[in-house]
Chain A
Amino acid sequence: MSLATFLQHCLTGISLGGAYALIAIGYTMVYGILRLINFAHGDLFMIAGYLMIFTLADFPWYIAIPIVLIGTVVIGIVIERLAYKPLRSAPRMSIMISAIGVSLLLQNLATYLFTALPRGYPEIPYLKRIFQFGTLSASFVTFLTPILTMVLVFLMVMMINKTKIGMAMRAVSKDYETAEIMGIKINSVVSFTFAIGSLLAAIGSILYFTDRMSVNPFSGSLPGLKCFVAAVLGGIGSIPGAMIGGFILGIGETFLVALGFSTFSDAFTFILLIVMLLVKPTGLFGEKATEKV
């Protein structure tokens, strides 16, 4: 492998990792607050892909993108209100099963409405413009993804640490009941968390699918699982951790494909997960959780 191809793969890997990171943040935030593995998050990402296909058919990209972002956020909040809120006091397993149910429903609904055949993802010419650096060439989106990811992560961290709603989120994730007693409106905090998660999933979806060029009803499920692994890898609950985890997965996977082990690239993710759980279960940046009795 020459230096040029190596750098080329690095670039692709970082770009893929950036999209993973954006989805992983959604997982990590929801898990931090509700202790729920939101299995439907990956499918929300797929729905955002379909939304983009349909809006971009009628509108120019600068109107379509805000519509997709808002639409995904609304769907995310509706899912939370309908499927998770009624189960707030139910056993944790019920909420997890509800999440699986939503995931199944979104997949089947997409299969029913848009058929199982992959649909071409529209090109935004602005994002697909090719840039050339010496021997390296890549589209604009490849450069945009990691930069945008880092900017968004920075904004997220600022929000969590400096703003009032961020403080409320931290309080809820530390102790649910005490936070409620202190007058924090749990429901609005949870909805806000889902809104942010969905927004990032929508942005991730635009960046991811622009490179992949097609969407099918199941194209969200595996990336969704991988992004959860990325979140665990970085330490669940930690936003910078989710970003690092996303980059590790993206780069690792790209290199496995480049070396000809494409069938094992999915397996790699989960082997990484099991190794990580064995060595450092709290993840790279996770806090040590103390069991409360």
Chain B
Amino acid sequence: MKKSTKTLFNIIAVSIILAILIFLEMNKRKFSYDISIIERSMIYAVAAVAMNLTNGFTGLFSLGQAGFMAIGAYTVALLTIPVEARAGVFYVTGMNEFLSKIELPFIPALLLGGLFAAILAGLIGIPVLRLKSDYLAIATLGFSEIIRSIIASPQLNMITNGSYGLKKIPRFSSIFVPIALCCLCILIIVLLINSSYGRAFKAIREDETAAEAMGINLFKHKLTSFMISSFFTGVAGGLLASYMGTIDSGTFKITLTYDILLIVVLGGMGSVTGSILGSFLVTAGREWLRFFDQPLKVGNWQVPLFRTGFRMVVFSVLLMVVVLFYSKGLMGSKEFSWEGLVRFFKNLFTRKQKLNGGVSNGK
């Protein structure tokens, strides 16, 4: 495929997406449900791509996503809730004197949230990343539980409002704000992956000893990857806070980490476009699969199994099936390309021909 045709395709794709977004924005009321799915998918995509940076590209197994997102979310929430609304939010104990006067615009608060997440990631990473990567999984998992229990503890009622959660977080003014921010985050991660740092990360993933022999400082690169990933996870958390408008410590349970892990595994470890695709599929799939939770009747026959909770069972079975039988996920470690798409459809077509008794081309 020629370069000019590819550019043409890209322009067409982007303008179609833009047109859809403008259309949705103009009919906000009618499509509020679809808009919320798209926004959530994009936010999860940022978290998933960030997770992919450590897990897929650097080969470190981090499971602290929920914790880092909680830090980002609480930072953004505490700094952006309008000052006059704060007394209403902290109706139980009142807010800390010093904190209650600070209010920041959304973007600086978001950056600060990411920064806090990155600093904490550094604090965990410095002791743990010198060891085998297994310990990182358990330490980050434990860390995210610590964060959750600290946020919910009554001793911090003046700051995090304990188990009452935070409300009245300013929402996005239009669909373009979260989409643009998410695209920017993903773009930065992609640029990082394609830089010399990214190549070093991939070398570490493939073989630590060989990478070290090539002169890559393992610890420094692992820490860089982990901190940058945590930064963007924190940003995703901040976006999530603004998307939801109300957060509490229960939002950031381990299940959130597992959701993002499912997205990354489904999309393919080591594929950015895979993570984005996976994020849309999982978020939308969660909504589509809702019918599993309702009792279903075909004619007069009550279909067994369909009742509350079945959806999550189906979901976890799906994760197991992907891990066991399609361990590469949708995209493997490949990225989306127009050639790939064309090849995919061609293969689909030729396979059909073969099934219909068509002449195979000798492959």
CA distance A92 to B61 in the complex (A): 10
Contacts of B153 in A (CB 8 A): 263-264
CA distance A102 to B146 in the complex (A): 24
CA distance A83 to B317 in the complex (A): 11
The answer to whether B335 has its CB under 8 Å from any CB of chain A is no
Task: Count chain B residues whose beta carbon lies closer than 8 angstroms to a beta carbon of A.
Answer: 45
Name the residue on B nearest A222 (C-beta).
Answer: B145
Find out whether the CB atom of A94 lies under 8 angstroms from the CB atom of B138.
Answer: no
The answer to whether B303 has its CB under 8 Å from any CB of chain A is no
Selecting from A45-53, A65-73, A174-182, A225-233, the interface stretch reads: A225-233
Name the residue on A nearest B269 (C-beta).
Answer: A93
Could you say which of B149, B261, B324 contacts A100, with CB atoms under 8 Å apart? B261
Find out whether the CB atom of B313 lies under 8 angstroms from the CB atom of A35.
Answer: no
Q: Answer whether A105 and B320 are a contact pair too, CB < 8 Å, given A97-B265, A267-B150.
A: yes
B254: min CB distance to chain A, Å: 7
A102: min CB distance to chain B, Å: 7
CA distance A111 to B314 in the complex (A): 13
The answer to whether B155 has its CB under 8 Å from any CB of chain A is yes
- In the complex, chain B residues 298-321 whose Cβ is within 8 Å of any chain A Cβ: 307-310, 312-313, 315-317, 319-320
The answer to whether B142 has its CB under 8 Å from any CB of chain A is yes
Q: Answer whether A97 and B261 are a contact pair too, CB < 8 Å, given A225-B142, A263-B152.
A: yes
- In the complex, chain A residues 26-53 whose Cβ is within 8 Å of any chain B Cβ: 35, 37
Find out whether the CB atom of B138 lies under 8 angstroms from the CB atom of A232.
Answer: yes
Chain A interface size, under 10 / 10 to 19 / 20 to 34 / 35 or more: 35 or more
New A-B pairs, 18, CB < 8 Å, besides A108-B316, A221-B254:
A83-B320, A86-B324, A94-B327, A97-B261, A101-B316, A104-B316, A112-B309, A229-B138, A229-B142, A232-B135, A263-B149, A263-B150, A263-B155, A264-B149, A264-B150, A267-B146, A274-B139, A289-B132
- Going nearest first, the 5 A-B pairs with the smallest beta carbon separation are A270-B142, A112-B309, A263-B153, A105-B316, A278-B127
Q: Answer whether A98 and B55 are a contact pair too, CB < 8 Å, given A264-B153, A266-B145, A293-B209.
A: no
CA distance A267 to B148 in the complex (A): 9
Find out whether the CB atom of A98 lies under 8 angstroms from the CB atom of B145.
Answer: no
Find out whether the CB atom of A97 lies under 8 angstroms from the CB atom of B309.
Answer: no
The answer to whether A157 has its CB under 8 Å from any CB of chain B is no
Could you say which of A100, A101, A269, A291 contacts B142, with CB atoms under 8 Å apart? A269
Find out whether the CB atom of B149 lies under 8 angstroms from the CB atom of A109.
Answer: no
Find out whether the CB atom of B142 lies under 8 angstroms from the CB atom of A93.
Answer: no
Find out whether the CB atom of A270 lies under 8 angstroms from the CB atom of B139.
Answer: yes
Name the residue on A nearest B156 (C-beta).
Answer: A263
Contacts of A291 in B (CB 8 A): 209
- Majority SS at the chain B contact face: helix
Contacts of A289 in B (CB 8 A): 132
The answer to whether B323 has its CB under 8 Å from any CB of chain A is yes
The answer to whether A96 has its CB under 8 Å from any CB of chain B is yes
Contacts of B320 in A (CB 8 A): 83, 98, 101-102, 105
Contacts of A222 in B (CB 8 A): 145
- In the complex, chain B residues 233-270 whose Cβ is within 8 Å of any chain A Cβ: 254, 258, 261, 265, 269
Listed by A's residue number, 20 A-B pairs whose Cβ atoms lie within 8 Å are A37-B137, A87-B327, A90-B327, A94-B323, A101-B316, A101-B323, A107-B316, A108-B309, A112-B307, A112-B310, A112-B312, A222-B145, A225-B138, A225-B142, A228-B138, A229-B142, A266-B146, A270-B142, A270-B143, A281-B130
The answer to whether A271 has its CB under 8 Å from any CB of chain B is yes
Could you say which of B127, B149, B327 contacts A277, with CB atoms under 8 Å apart? B127
Count of CB-CB pairs between chains A and B under 8 Å:
115
Which of B's residues lie within 8 Å of A, judged by CB? 55, 59, 61, 124, 127-128, 130-132, 134-135, 137-139, 141-143, 145-146, 149-150, 152-155, 209, 254, 258, 261, 265, 269, 307-310, 312-313, 315-317, 319-320, 323-324, 327
Find out whether the CB atom of B124 lies under 8 angstroms from the CB atom of A104.
Answer: no
The answer to whether A273 has its CB under 8 Å from any CB of chain B is yes
Find out whether the CB atom of A277 lies under 8 angstroms from the CB atom of B146.
Answer: no
Find out whether the CB atom of B313 lies under 8 angstroms from the CB atom of A105.
Answer: yes
User: A196-236 vs B: 1/0 string, CB under 8 Å?
Assistant: 00000000000000000000000001100100110010000
Could you say which of B61, B146, B254, B317 contacts A105, with CB atoms under 8 Å apart? B317
CA distance A181 to B309 in the complex (A): 47
Contacts of A263 in B (CB 8 A): 149-150, 152-155
Contacts of B150 in A (CB 8 A): 263-264, 267
CA distance A271 to B146 in the complex (A): 8
Residue of B134, B308, B310 with most partner-chain A CB within 10 A = B134
CA distance A115 to B155 in the complex (A): 32
CA distance A107 to B317 in the complex (A): 12
Contacts of B138 in A (CB 8 A): 37, 225, 228-229, 232, 273
CA distance A101 to B323 in the complex (A): 8
Could you say which of B135, B143, B312 contacts A281, with CB atoms under 8 Å apart? B135
Residue of A222, A269, A281, A289 with most partner-chain B CB within 10 A = A281
A37: min CB distance to chain B, Å: 6
Residue of B61, B138, B150, B269 with most partner-chain A CB within 10 A = B138
A84: min CB distance to chain B, Å: 10
B100: min CB distance to chain A, Å: 23
Residue of B142, B261, B324 with most partner-chain A CB within 10 A = B142
Could you say which of B132, B139, B315 contacts A108, with CB atoms under 8 Å apart? B315
Find out whether the CB atom of A109 lies under 8 angstroms from the CB atom of B313.
Answer: yes
CA distance A263 to B327 in the complex (A): 39
- In the complex, chain A residues 89-130 whose Cβ is within 8 Å of any chain B Cβ: 90, 92-94, 96-98, 100-102, 104-105, 107-109, 111-112, 115-116
CA distance A261 to B323 in the complex (A): 40
